Amino acid sequence: MNESVVLVNSMGNMVGTCEKLQAHQHGLLHLAFSLMLVRKTEHGFEHLLQQRASDKYHSGGKWSNACCSHPREGERLDSAVKRRVFEELGVTHLPNPEYVGAMTYKASLDNGLTEHEYDHIFVQYCNDDDVALSPNPDEISATRWVSEQDIKAELSQNPHSYTAWFADLLQRFVSAREQKPTHDA
């Protein structure tokens, strides 16, 4: 792992860069993004979840949102989202991810690392035909579409099967969507 992350202050402004593993070893606040792929069904909203590959350097084997990562220095967030969703899920066309907002979180991980991110949240509403998936097995071991109700039940029954940030991310996303009740998915 020889990739850098963008270090930021509490307002999300760049203050430097750092090697990615070192940032996680020291819990340094860095820039990130999370993408939710969501489709509306007759029973409500479903989310595409990915199970991280078991040999990832942290949170291996845990379920999480469709895609999350770090923009590179000088890379626009929307470009980073499209780059990474291709690298992880093989999605070649992501029409226009909608910006939802940002959150900051800090979470201790099970291997002595700390995730401390200023996380920009994006959503892509889609239909079954909109997004063709071809997951990269080095990144993802499984994907599945799950209703919000089932996700919430799983989170309450078995929170450790999800990444440390996922529950907060889902809550932020749902709250933002509920503030825009006229959104057509």
Q: Is 24 labelled as part of a ligand binding site? A: yes
The question of whether 117 is a catalytic residue gets the answer yes
Q: Is 30 labelled as part of a ligand binding site? A: yes
- Asked whether the beta carbons of 185 and 40 are under 8 A apart, the reply is yes
3-state secondary structure 6-63: EEECCCCCEEEEEEHHHHHHHCCCEEEEEEEEEEEECCEEEEEEEEECCCCCCCCCCE
Cα–Cα distance for residue pair 158/146, rounded to 1 Å: 15
The question of whether 18 is a catalytic residue gets the answer no
Q: Is 42 labelled as part of a ligand binding site? A: no
**Structure tokens given for 79:** 């470009």
Question: Which one from 19, 42, 67, 117 is the annotated catalytic residue?
Answer: 117
Report the run of H or E that residue 146 belongs to, with start and end.
strand 140-147
Torsion of CA 62, 137, 39, 149, to 10 degrees: -20
Q: Is 160 labelled as part of a ligand binding site? A: no
Question: Which one from 46, 67, 68, 87 is the annotated catalytic residue?
Answer: 68
The SS3 of residue 21 is helix
Report the run of H or E that residue 39 belongs to, with start and end.
strand 30-41
Which residues are documented as binding site for Mn(2+)?
Answer: 24, 30, 70, 115, 117
Active-site positions read 68, 117
Residue list, annotated binding site for Mg(2+):
88
Residues belonging to the binding site are 24, 30, 70, 88, 115, 117
